[in-house]
Structure 1
Amino acid sequence: MIPLFLLTSLLLSGFFSQIDKCHAVFPIKEATIKDIHSAFNQNKLTSKQLVEFYLEQIKCLNPILKGVIEVNPDAIHEAIKADEERKAKKGSVWMSKLHGIPILLKDNIATKDKLNTTAGSLALLRSVVPRDAGVAKKLREAGAIILGKASMTEWAAFRSEGIPNGWNARAGQGKNPYVLSVDPCGSSSGSAISVAANLATATLGTETDGSILCPSSFNSVVGIKPTVGLTSRAGVIPISPRQDTVGTVSDAVYVLDAIVGYDSRDTEATKRASKYIPHDGYAQFLKSDGLKGKRLGIVRNPFYNFDDDKLLTSAFEHHLQTLRQAGAILVDNLEISHIETILDSSVSGEDTALNTEFKMSLNAYLKELVASPVQSLADVIAFNKKFSDEEKIKEFGQDTFLAAEATNGIGKAEKKAVKNLSKLSKNGFVKLMKKNKLHALVAGGPDISRVLAIGGFPGINVPAVYTNTGVPIGMSFGGLKGSEPSLIEIAYAFEQATKIRKPPTFL
């Protein structure tokens, strides 16, 4: 028998030889959408070549990283079509920034094609969706190529508190491409892993509470969690219509421009948020001097507590100084009222509200499917029991599912919970932002996500630092509803001033 440590060594040795092989496939690693379109226009690259490059990357790296759950068998055909369209319309200004660009969608975003939409669960394998999700439809209209589905924490980490970030029954355990043994964070883990490791140009993720900002932080990529309602949630396997939002990871602003807007299948939220969308889109706010005059709030406790880690403390203090030098006005040593309660989901009422909202929303989603092995949350729970070995029920459980199934609609407890969350948000984050006339709150790491989640507020993560062991940690910028223009200016200017991101090391 081969000793376990030797087996691991042999596997990783093969993995690194695969990485070297992949490096020779095509010279376009770390390319941005702007770079790719420049190559298109100069006839140095075709969409077909680009898709073939990413498919080879996936073939080489995904057996270890498991960032991609499924590849679109029609991706090359779609790329050829995009090349033909570009050739026919050469010189035309009509072409979208996403035309011919391969994008992965998180596996809870429905696509009406040959791909599955399962939230990583075997229970939804071979289910048939009625139509593309609203955001998938917009991507196709912009000419993007749906490359496949990104892996994710199963059921967006809502099955159980015991499920590891990045794990699902269909693909297994997703790996952080910087340090393979480190938490990739969730639940849009595969979306972040994939763009970090150059398995796609860009990806879509979803966030209810931290699921874009956290994996973006831990995988050293830019991630945008939009204002709730700015992007449609129609056709997305849900948790909570009050908190769910679809966002983007890497080259985030161009993708955001393509997916925002009204959707008749998500009428109330998208109509309410559409007033925030600027007339000429979001790319206009990619300004290198975007920090000038911006008032940025700093809440030291708890968003700069690094357990006496001198490297992190020093790095983030340096970043704060960079913000000042770039023209920002830092309002330091602020406090968010009742922050301890906000960060404890069992005390704030968030758990109570989400459990009820999840059962109602999921049951409604399942009823809309054309075909499905399961028709309700109760069916999913029963499926997991029946296939407990495959779904690792003994190891990870399904306690959150059981708690959600025990709910019975919006009652007094749920109304009280939602009211309390609104009160905490209004008297905490909103009051702080308005009182100090802030454009954004700045935090070291992704822990600001819960503050943003309970109020439906937007946030952006930007790569910021690497620990002594090579683990990435990002800088988070959060603002009030509709503040994406300011957040983009701030985040982009910070990114350009620091240029921290480096390719993954696969340690």
Structure 2
Amino acid sequence: MSSSASMLNPQISLLLLISFALSLSVSQSSTYHVFAIKEASVVDLQNAFKQNQLTSRQLVEFYIGEIRILNLVLRGVIEVNPDALYQANLADQQRKAKVPGSLYRLHGIPILLKDNIATKDKLNTTAGSFALLKSIVPWNAGMVMKLRKAGAIILEKASLSEWANFRSLAVPNGWSARGGQGKNPYVLSADPCGSSNGSTISVAANMVVVSLGSETDGSILCPTSFNGLVGIKPTVGLASRAGVIPVSPRQDTIGPICRTVTDAVYILNVTIGFDYYDAQATKEASKYIPRGGYMQFLKVDGLKGKRLGIVRNPFFNFANGSDLSQVFESHFQTLK
């Protein structure tokens, strides 16, 4: 390395690296397939499958390529499932043979799991800690069973704030021993927030289409808001917590992290319901699941005639006339 290069400001070096990574990523996405995978929803991907514009193998290969490029900087993914391409090939074969269930919404769709959700496969389940590396779980987490039954491909495990942000009060959001420091893909110096940040970073950066996170106290809602995504924090017990490294049984819940409300509802619909291994919580909550699930509430005109209120303080504690106030008022008028 030249003396001038070695004297580069670390922040400038990081920006150059991410710019180079993004340029490679854009090149890959523009030439890899006729179908544009980036920013595609689950519905878009399923339509591409049906129209023979895309295969699950091509989709998985694309995401693995994005991970190799972008994860060097963003640190949203801890590890990729070595069996992902095998699962993708199997999904393509089933779709070609028109096997029952091969047209389900999640069939052949890659999904990312937070690294505290157990999978009985070649992936580790460690909560980001070396203490659990190489440990063997007895079975798949309850909601992983549901995802596999729906045909989803378990592509990777997401980085997270180690031990779901209960390792230390002094550790920054997004840091774990196994994953390193997760970065907000929109502003690298910004806080990625919450312990499910790897799940949000990866979806926001197009390293996967949908993911699952967990929340005890803001770990789905905070990182999704900081990374421009849609997160659903289900009522405790609506989705099984069995096979998920716990923090508090009174507060823990598992939910989807996606780019669109529709995708989030699809994931929610698949993962909710009674689970024998989390019977006490799921039995009670299952009583309140509407007949036919939640997809029936996906209506384009769902807000027609509704009146929305915005609480300006204490959440928007800024002076009138400030730059922040003007931006807020501009967006408020757009929404209105």
TM-score strictly above 0.5: yes
In 2, the alpha carbon distance for the partners of 1:95 and 1:281 equals: 18
Structure (1 or 2) with the greater helix fraction = 1
Tell whether 2:16 aligns with 1:13. Answer: yes
CA 1:307–1:273 in structure 2 vs 1: closer, same or farther (change >3 Å)? Answer: farther
Tell whether 2:66 aligns with 1:57. Answer: yes
CA 1:12–1:161 in structure 2 vs 1: closer, same or farther (change >3 Å)? Answer: same
Q: 1:122 aligned to 125, 130, 135, which one?
A: 130
Shift in Å at residue 285 of structure 1? 1.6
Where does residue 257 of structure 2 map in the other structure?
Answer: 249
Where does residue 37 of structure 2 map in the other structure?
Answer: 28
Contact 2:112 2:210 in 1 (8 A): yes
Structure 2 portions without partners, runs of 5+? none
In 2, the alpha carbon distance for the partners of 1:218 and 1:299 equals: 19
Where does residue 271 of structure 2 map in the other structure?
Answer: 259
User: Where in structure 2 are the equivalents of 1:219-298 lying within 5 Å?
Assistant: 219-250=227-258, 251-294=263-306, 296-298=308-310
Q: 2:84 aligned to 62, 75, 78, which one?
A: 75
Matched residue type, 2:198: G
Tell me the SS of whatever aligns to 2:314: helix
In 1, the alpha carbon distance for the partners of 2:323 and 2:65 equals: 37
Shift in Å at residue 58 of structure 1? 0.1
In 1, the alpha carbon distance for the partners of 2:316 and 2:216 equals: 23
Tell me the SS of whatever aligns to 2:232: strand
Contact 2:91 2:102 in 1 (8 A): no
CA 1:88–1:117 in structure 2 vs 1: closer, same or farther (change >3 Å)? Answer: same
In 1, the alpha carbon distance for the partners of 2:311 and 2:328 equals: 13
Tell whether 2:317 aligns with 1:305. Answer: yes
Aligned residues: 323
User: Where in structure 2 are the equivalents of 1:318-329 lying within 5 Å?
Assistant: 325=336
Shift in Å at residue 243 of structure 1? 0.6
In 1, the alpha carbon distance for the partners of 2:42 and 2:324 equals: 31
Where does residue 459 of structure 1 map in the other structure?
Answer: none
Tell whether 2:154 aligns with 1:146. Answer: yes
Tell whether 2:145 aligns with 1:133. Answer: no
Contact 2:101 2:150 in 1 (8 A): no
CA 1:292–1:316 in structure 2 vs 1: closer, same or farther (change >3 Å)? Answer: farther
In 1, the alpha carbon distance for the partners of 2:194 and 2:14 equals: 25
- RMSD over aligned Cα atoms: 2.0
Q: 2:204 aligned to 187, 196, 200, which one?
A: 196
Where does residue 185 of structure 2 map in the other structure?
Answer: 177
Where does residue 337 of structure 1 map in the other structure?
Answer: none
Matched residue type, 1:155: W
TM norm structure 2: 0.90
Contact 2:102 2:151 in 1 (8 A): no
In 2, the alpha carbon distance for the partners of 1:247 and 1:186 equals: 14
Matched residue type, 1:87: K
Contact 2:101 2:107 in 1 (8 A): no
Shift in Å at residue 286 of structure 1? 1.7
Shift in Å at residue 9 of structure 1? 3.1
Where does residue 88 of structure 1 map in the other structure?
Answer: 97
In 1, the alpha carbon distance for the partners of 2:238 and 2:137 equals: 23
Tell whether 2:173 aligns with 1:165. Answer: yes
In 2, the alpha carbon distance for the partners of 1:177 and 1:94 equals: 33
Q: Pick 1 or 2: higher relative contact order, CA cutoff 8 A, min separation 6.
A: 1
In 2, the alpha carbon distance for the partners of 1:127 and 1:106 equals: 16
CA 1:272–1:310 in structure 2 vs 1: closer, same or farther (change >3 Å)? Answer: farther
More displaced, 15-24 or 2-11?
A: 2-11
Shift in Å at residue 114 of structure 1? 0.5
Q: Percent identity?
A: 63
CA 1:307–1:155 in structure 2 vs 1: closer, same or farther (change >3 Å)? Answer: farther
Tell me the SS of whatever aligns to 2:313: helix
Where does residue 113 of structure 2 map in the other structure?
Answer: 105
